[in-house]
Amino acid sequence: MMSKNNPGNYFEDFRLGQVLRHATPRTITAGDVALYTGLYGPRFAVQSSAEFASAIGFRGAPVDDLLVFHMVFGKTVPDVSLNAVANLGYAGGVFGAPVYTGDTVSTVSRVIGLKQNSNGKTGVVYVNSVGCNQHGEMVVDYNRWVMVRKNNPDAPAPDAIVPDLPATVDATSFRVPVGLDLTDYDGELAGSPHYWDDYAIGEKIDHVDGMTIEEAEHQIATRLYQNTAKVHFDQIAANQGRFGKRLIYGGHVMSLARALSFNGLGNAFKIVAINGGSHANPAFAGDTVFAWSEIIDKISLAGRDDVGALRVRLVAMRNHGATDFSLRDEAGKYDSAVLLDFDHTVLIPKRSLSVK
């Protein structure tokens, strides 16, 4: 009788165009949101206060965009990356309908590219993953590529197809929440005096604060997302591994950095796009995470004078304050203290509106 546990897919198991309908659908609740707050400490007023959110057109406090992202990402792990060597990157991510507590999110992925590595032992799998709510509305849609082991090195290489992924998400793809109206946006209550108008392209912001990560924290987070990647949980296996430690889910660092970014980007209340992202170095329990941002672009939104978008590079550092805005060395290699280089686009109120 064949073993009934899930072996995951190996590189040779993927087919171009293959559709993976992932288990487990997930109803997101006020409990998940509270745990997310406890794990990262985000302070964006829209996600924190139902009253604040309602005043600007949401029907309640929406669920943090990255919590939605992690819930969807977690579901792809058993089918896409159980046998992965590395999570290589993200591109072309957009957030759709706001998620409210009580919504149930389901995830489907499609294989959009395959390329065997020259060593014949691994290959890169490109997937487009889409999370939808119970009404079938898209809540997040993104592409990622991962390096996956082959089970049988002799399995033939597929035709190499590398998808043409966008370097940045175009403004026409941003989904501004239906009904959003920032006329009554209260920057004082939101905790920041800085609006779209106040940021300059090229400006760098030190988010100052540091957060030391504990094993219990990242394990609780990663289980909450029902992400089953073995490297995060099993110290016995880690003892045999390259680092001797449990690896922290990259999304955990992403959420920590996003929460830290409040201190300087407190009005950036919603992520609309993930242009790209790299986990530059692995993070471990005991690491202290700092973050800085660079404003890459300022984007006006057609027909809106109340809200604009900022394209932001958010960088997470390990055990090293963000005051010197370290990123890469002269050869272009990431500084060893860099954990995450996250290129995303956020919505933020315009001053024109706020000062009238």
Question: Which region, judged by CB under 8 A, interacts with a copy of itself, from 86-94, 115-123, 173-181, 200-208?
Answer: 200-208
Query: CA-to-CA distance for 72 and 226, rounded, in angstroms?
Result: 9
The answer to the question of residue 185 lying near a copy of itself (CB under 8 A) is no
Cβ at position 147, least distance to a copy of itself in Å: 21
Cβ at position 64, least distance to a copy of itself in Å: 13
Question: Which region, judged by CB under 8 A, interacts with a copy of itself, from 1-9, 175-183, 297-305, 344-352?
Answer: 1-9
Cβ at position 231, least distance to a copy of itself in Å: 11
Cβ at position 92, least distance to a copy of itself in Å: 26
State which residue, 161 or 216, has the beta carbon closest to a copy of itself: 216
State which residue, 160 or 216, has the beta carbon closest to a copy of itself: 216
State which residue, 22 or 350, has the beta carbon closest to a copy of itself: 22
Here's the x/- map for a copy of itself, 7-26, by CB under 8 A: it reads as --------------xxxxxx
Angle between helical axes of 65-76 and 250-260 (0-180°, round to 10): 180
The answer to the question of residue 221 lying near a copy of itself (CB under 8 A) is yes
Here's the x/- map for a copy of itself, 312-351, by CB under 8 A: it reads as -------xxx------------------------------
The answer to the question of residue 288 lying near a copy of itself (CB under 8 A) is yes
Query: CA-to-CA distance for 99 and 278, rounded, in angstroms?
Result: 25
Tokens at 266, concatenated: 């407190």
Phi, psi of 72 (to 5 degrees): -70, -45
> What does DSSP assign to residue 319?
S
Tokens at 147, concatenated: 């390096």
Q: What is the 3-state secondary structure (H, E, C) of 115-176?
A: EECCCCCEEEEEEEEEEECCCCCEEEEEEEEEEEECCCCCCCCCCCECCCCCCCCCHHHCCC
CA atoms within 13 A on the CB side of 220: 14
* Binding residues for a copy of itself restricted to 31-90, rule: CB under 8 A: 31-35, 37-41, 43-45, 48-52, 61, 78
- CB 125, CB 114: distance < 8 Å: yes
Residue 234: how many other CB atoms lie within 10 Å: 12
If you compute the radius of gyration of the chain from its CA atoms, what whole number of angstroms results?
20
The answer to the question of residue 264 lying near a copy of itself (CB under 8 A) is yes
The answer to the question of residue 170 lying near a copy of itself (CB under 8 A) is no
The answer to the question of residue 216 lying near a copy of itself (CB under 8 A) is yes
- CB 279, CB 263: distance < 8 Å: no
Cβ at position 207, least distance to a copy of itself in Å: 6
The answer to the question of residue 149 lying near a copy of itself (CB under 8 A) is no
Cβ at position 164, least distance to a copy of itself in Å: 30
- CB 221, CB 19: distance < 8 Å: no
Choose which of 170, 234, 305, 329 interacts with a copy of itself (CB under 8 A).
234
State which residue, 124 or 309, has the beta carbon closest to a copy of itself: 309
Choose which of 84, 211, 280, 299 interacts with a copy of itself (CB under 8 A).
211
The answer to the question of residue 217 lying near a copy of itself (CB under 8 A) is yes
Phi, psi of 64 (to 5 degrees): -50, 135
Choose which of 170, 184, 214, 324 interacts with a copy of itself (CB under 8 A).
214
Cis peptide before 24 (omega within 30 of 0): yes
Question: Which region, judged by CB under 8 A, interacts with a copy of itself, from 113-121, 154-162, 216-224, 271-279?
Answer: 216-224
Here's the x/- map for a copy of itself, 126-145, by CB under 8 A: it reads as --------x-----------
- CB 285, CB 168: distance < 8 Å: no
Amino acid at 264: G
Choose which of 62, 250, 266, 276 interacts with a copy of itself (CB under 8 A).
266
Residues 6+ apart with CB under 8 A from 146: 80, 81, 84, 85, 86, 87, 88, 124, 125, 127
